[in-house]
Amino acid sequence: MTVFNISNSGVVAGGPGDDTLKLTYNTATDGVWLLSTALNPAGGYDGMFNGLGSNDTSFTGIENFWFTDLSGGADIIRTGTGNDNLKGGGGNDLLNGRSDQGL
């Protein structure tokens, strides 16, 4: 298992086994959206957290997501299967980590 700790922006590539992306936003005042998510044939998900500015984080092959927003804005985060932990900051957030929801 590999754990990637990212603050605000970055590029993450998961490998074999379960990978966890721990993403903390502390400057995205306009909110964060989880966009462009697709199943990766090698395992996990590919996609991008859009910080609605220059704070974007793209990822490939990630199975588990830990998202924390320490700033404001309306976050829209939906994850699928996996051990996910989602925490919105100030703002009207939509956080959905249900395993039966899909992405």
> Is 102 part of any domain?
no
Q: What is the pLDDT of residue 4?
A: 76
* Residue 39 backbone dihedrals phi, psi, to 5 degrees: -65, 135
Is residue 20 in some structural domain? yes
In a domain, 96, yes or no: no
CA quadruple 22, 34, 19, 99: dihedral positive or negative?
positive
Distance of CA 86 to the CA centre of its chain: 9
Residue 103 covered by a domain = no
Residue whose pair of structure tokens reads 């009207």 in the numeric block: 92
User: Phi-psi region for residue 63, left (φ > 0), alpha (ψ -120 to 50) or beta?
Assistant: alpha
Q: Determine, yes or no, domain membership for 97.
A: no
User: Is residue 76 in a domain?
Assistant: yes
Query: How far apart are the C-alpha atoms of 73 and 16, rounded to whole Å?
Result: 34
Q: Which domain holds residue 63?
A: 2-91
Residue 25's pLDDT is 83
Give me the tens of pLDDT residue by residue for the chain, a chain 103 residues long: 678 777 767 899 998 889 999 988 887 668 888 876 899 999 999 999 888 777 888 999 999 999 998 887 889 998 877 789 999 888 889 998 866 444 4
Look at the chain and report how many structural domains it folds into. Answer: 1
Q: Assess if residue 101 is contained within a domain.
A: no
Beta-sheet pairing, 57-62 with 33-39: unpaired
Q: Residue 91: its pLDDT value, please?
A: 84
In a domain, 49, yes or no: yes
